[in-house]
Amino acid sequence: MTTSPYGGETLPKNVRSRMIHGINGLDVHILEAGHESPGRPLALLLHGFPDLAYGWRYLMPLLAEAGYHVAAPDQRGFGGTTGCVSDYDAPLAPFGLLNMTRDALALVSALGYRRTAMLVGHDPGSPVAAYCALARPDVFPSVVLMSAPFPGPPAFPFNTVDREAPSAQPNNENQKLAAALAALDPPRKHYQQYLSSRQANDDMWHPPQGLHTFLRAFFHVKSADWSGNKPHPLKGRTAADLAQMPTYYVMDLGKTMPETVAPFQPSAAEVQSCKWLTEPELGVYVEEYDRTGFQGALQAYRVFSDPDLNAELRLYSGRTIDVPSLFIGGKSDWGTYSAPGALDLMTTKAATRMAGIELIDGAGHWIQQEQPVRLSELLLAFAKEAGAAGHAPG
């Protein structure tokens, strides 16, 4: 295990960066807090897109002060974690949700733990955390999902033996939706469709306005700092319903993501007043993505629409999350509602011990950066209630 520079002077003093080798075929870069004292219960934090372990930097010392050993990895395809092939034409299976679940399981084991006392997944890290709790409730005895509700695993058709044989036609719902969005005036496209495309990596890696300017606008427009974020539930997954979302979710057809967010570039005064992502802190993201590009991070979006990888998830057909669970969103985050129906499915069907839905004031999509103190209060209260705290390494 070797220590590496990461985040420079912007990391809190009690948060360290290090590499851990041999994790499900990866060399995993993690940030850690509370590591000085052996025997602490483990809190594992799984980030989303285009985030890094660095996104948890404000939360980690707060959890460490409460007695946890906190570990936040750069997930497969992101940041300092290496060992996977992230090219567009590389096999997607290593980025499948069940292999990402194995990444988390292997990391917990390498750190010397039999179980976590807190598991938190944000954005695309949320479904990874959900499958951790679904597949290995013995190792992950509670789970917190942030920004992306979990609707449950894909299911096999039930009680069909006496019915007429189903059509052998492939499921083309995504193609139908793409066509319906393209037929709107003005024509639109779903952001996941764009992020799954071959050109998305180069568009975002080498944007005309520069990587720093692009990422600043992207973080700004998805935060509570942008007054245009007024999320609400959508009736269904029709083109007309989805088109109510801002253009960073349902984009103008033909525009790249850098072109989409450019009109929302914050002013110099807004940048100066942004305390949750200062210019030096944004510089960490710029340095990492300038080095790696975005393709490894984008593989997750391609996984969601891959028929073979979705078929693999049917291993858990009919299975529910039966450990204590909690959903946390930002009041200014469209992520809670961007998949219409997912929130209801999570609370009524997919999770049987859901403690509640908490929407945090003053937070958009980047909850752990925008409102870390309130988030820590909710996490600690839930962990106490779930009875997860107090597990020493086994």
Identify the residue whose tokens are 């092939």: 85
pLDDT at 4 over 60: no
**7/344: higher pLDDT:** 344
pLDDT of residue 393: 40
- CA–CA dist 373, 367 (Å, integer): 10
- CA–CA dist 143, 130 (Å, integer): 7
User: Whole-model pTM?
Assistant: 0.95
pLDDT of residue 394: 38
pLDDT of residue 8: 78
pLDDT band (50, 70, 90) for residue 173: confident
- Asked if residue 144 lies in contact with residue 130, where contact means CB atoms within 8 angstroms, the answer is no
pLDDT band (50, 70, 90) for residue 135: very high
| Other Cβ atoms closer than 10 A to 390 | 11
Q: What is the pLDDT of residues 112-133, one digit of tens each?
A: 999 999 999 999 999 999 999 9
Q: What is the pLDDT of residues 355-378, one digit of tens each?
A: 999 999 999 999 999 999 999 999
Identify the residue whose tokens are 């990461």: 6
Q: What is the pLDDT of residues 259-277, one digit of tens each?
A: 999 999 999 999 999 999 9
- Which of 80, 114, 125 lies closest to 328, judged by CA? 125
pLDDT band (50, 70, 90) for residue 208: very high
pLDDT band (50, 70, 90) for residue 162: confident
pLDDT at 381 over 70: yes
How far CA 294 is from CA of 73, 93, 177, 297, in Å, comes to: 17, 18, 25, 5
For helices 211-221 and 279-292, angle between their N-to-C axes, nearest 10 degrees? 120
pLDDT of residue 175: 87
- CA–CA dist 249, 65 (Å, integer): 37
* Bridge partner residues of 283 (DSSP): none
- CA–CA dist 131, 308 (Å, integer): 17
pLDDT band (50, 70, 90) for residue 389: very low
pLDDT of residue 172: 77
